[in-house]
Amino acid sequence: MRITSALTAVAVVLAGLVAGVGSSSAAGSSAAGSSAAGSSAAGSSAAGSSAAGSSAAGSSAAGSSSAAAYCGITWGSAERSAGALSDAPLTEVRTGRHDCYDRVVFEFAGPVDGYAVGYGETWTEGEGLALSPYTAGGALLRVSLRAPAYDDARQGTVPYAVGEHIANLLRYPTVRDIVFGGSFEGYSTFAVGVRARLPFRVLVLTGPGTHSRIVLDVAHQW
């Protein structure tokens, strides 16, 4: 009996030890798994933050790039005007292509600095006929020059009739058409058709000789 009781006691002790080892191993495995999962989650979070940061930086760089002005041009497209009436007549209209813009030059036989240029409908001088139906382009620049296109004897100083298309604009990126709107009471008008509403500037230049020029530049793009 004593031997049987002793064997039973040993068996109970061994069972307890085995159970303790199993619990400890399971708890350790569980803790290790939790630690690994935490590390994995932290790594994923850090990677996500890094990717988001990279994406934000890329977006910022792209925004800065797209915001950069074309050819450094900051002219805008608002109407502008300056100067006063002059009796020096218009003598020539010519055009030119440049890397960043198309140019229209109005030359006068004397000092002229008066103009008004803006986007919108253009009418013939005197008659008031709208020129937009007859002018090529997606947008219309109204050019009013504060100088006549005739001399003191009321003879025309440019070889254009009202409504005439006055320039060959083949291969011009921006300017599509130039139509003479006539000259009346000291004002001369032109409709300049352009590809779209684009930035422009107006310059007043002296020369050649005693002549002067009003120059219209229209950018190829924004």
The predicted-structure confidence for 122-155, as pLDDT tens digits, reads as follows 999 989 999 999 999 999 999 999 999 999 999 9
Token pair, residue 213, equals 């020029």
Query: What CA–CA distance (Å, rounded) separates 76 from 83?
Result: 20
Between residues 74 and 69, the one the model is more confident about? 74
Local structure of 211: helix, strand or coil: coil
Strands across the sheet containing 90-97 = 90-97, 101-108, 212-219, 200-206
Out of 41-45, 100-104, 132-136, 182-186, least confident range: 41-45
pLDDT digits (tens, 9 = 90+) for 193-217: 999 999 999 999 999 999 999 999 9
User: Average pLDDT for residues 26-37, to the nearest whole number?
Assistant: 39
33 vs 41: CA distance, rounded Å: 12
Confidence band for 61, pLDDT divided at 50, 70 and 90: very low
Of the listed ranges 21-25, 90-94, 164-168, the one predicted with least confidence? 21-25
- Identify the weakest region by mean pLDDT among 8-22, 127-141, 180-194: 8-22
SS3 120: coil
Question: Between 194 and 37, where is the model more confident?
Answer: 194
**Average pLDDT score over residue span 107-116:** 99
pTM flag (> 0.85): no
pLDDT value of position 67: 58
**Residue whose C-alpha is closest to residue 77's, from 15, 23, 28, 120:** 120
